[in-house]
Amino acid sequence: MNPTTPPALPTSVTTSAPPSPRYSSLSDQPWYLPMGDEVEVFEAAYSARLPVLLKGPTGCGKTRFVEYMAWRLFRQADTPRRSLEVPLVTVACHEDLTATDLVGRYLLSNDATVWRDGPLTGAVRSGAICYLDEVVEARKDTTVVIHALTDHRRVLPIDKTGELLDAHPDFLLVVSYNPGYQSALKDMKPSTRQRFVALDFDYPPPAQEAAIIAHESGAEPAIAQALAAIGLKVRHLHEHGLDDGVGTRALVHAGKLIQGGIDSRRACDVAIARALTEDADVRRAITDVCDVLLP
């Protein structure tokens, strides 16, 4: 199958309204290296319009995966979905984010009151994928909205207009969640969790992580392999009081700095050790690991 060229698309749409969602047109294919069967599972979930929950630590590929899947489902596939200008709407959730921020609000414009759809409503109407990043951070009133959209009802209750909006057949809700970060108070309720198909993400095995670092940073294979080995070792420094392991993102940053001409030890110092911790002892332990493993 040779898909036709997609229509010219805007690269981004900006909005001044909170919460600054990111609207992705996905005209270029995002590069994603699969770790297992996550692509097949997501496609099957999308076919059945089952919402998807991505779990895993920071910088391990969740966002890239959603971008890639949205590209596959809306750009690569030979489907009417290709005409949708903005297939992916991403909202970074935070503790002040309310249901109103997601759903929409009335705004004053030239003495008139006009309704402005929030990012979730826009996706529900148009049939895009809406990705709520770190969903448990959001205020509790978002739960009502998410629940109605993620069971058999597939509706969005818009309290302020009294509307009960049926989701477009192509709409899908995807959320992410980092189980390590949350206090018990902020953990996801079973009634929310069980509405989603849950995919676990983790740090890639060293060979795959080296391939990702090389691709993303342009670093030489030997450097990419060393950075992947450093990642593995640093993730084992838990007993030194390091709460979070180093994500692939930080290793890619180190690779980019090295490609930019920064000495490899200095690159690891600023992109890994200093980015990860303020603890001088842990930093020293990371530096020792880098000294041993860098070529």
Ligand X SMILES: Nc1ncnc2c1ncn2[C@@H]1O[C@H](COP(=O)(O)OP(=O)(O)OP(=O)(O)O)[C@@H](O)[C@H]1O
Which residues bind to ligand X, rule: CB under 6 A?
31-33, 35, 56, 58-64, 133, 178, 212, 216, 248-249, 252
Greatest alpha-carbon span in the chain: 67
Position 248 contacts Mg ion (CB under 5 A):
no
For the bound state, the minimum distance from the C-beta of residue 34 to ligand X, rounded and expressed in Å, comes to 7
For the bound state, the minimum distance from the C-beta of residue 160 to Mg ion, rounded and expressed in Å, comes to 30
For the bound state, the minimum distance from the C-beta of residue 214 to ligand X, rounded and expressed in Å, comes to 11
3-class SS at 219? Answer: coil
Position 150 contacts Mg ion (CB under 5 A):
no
C-alpha distance from residue 204 to each of 148, 207, 235, 251 (Å): 35, 8, 12, 12
Contact 142, 156 (CB under 8 A): no
Closer residue to ligand X (CB): 212 or 226: 212
For the bound state, the minimum distance from the C-beta of residue 207 to ligand X, rounded and expressed in Å, comes to 12
Separation of alpha carbons 150 and 130, rounded Å = 12
Contact 129, 70 (CB under 8 A): yes
For the bound state, the minimum distance from the C-beta of residue 182 to ligand X, rounded and expressed in Å, comes to 13
Neighbour count for residue 201 (Cβ, 10 Å): 18
Position 63 contacts Mg ion (CB under 5 A):
yes
Neighbour count for residue 237 (Cβ, 10 Å): 17
Q: Which does 216 bind (CB under 5 to 8 A by kind): Mg ion, ligand X, none?
A: ligand X
Closer residue to ligand X (CB): 103 or 210: 210
Among the listed ranges 39-47, 57-65, 76-84, 276-284, the one in contact with Mg ion (CB under 5 A) is: 57-65
Range list of β-strands (E), 120-179: 129-133, 155-158, 163-166, 172-177
Q: Which does 31 bind (CB under 5 to 8 A by kind): ligand X, Mg ion, none?
A: ligand X
Q: Which amino acid is at 128?
A: A
**The two structure tokens encoding residue 57:** 């630590």
Among the listed ranges 47-55, 62-70, 107-115, 241-249, the one in contact with Mg ion (CB under 5 A) is: 62-70
- Residues lying near Mg ion in the complex (CB under 5 A) are found at 63
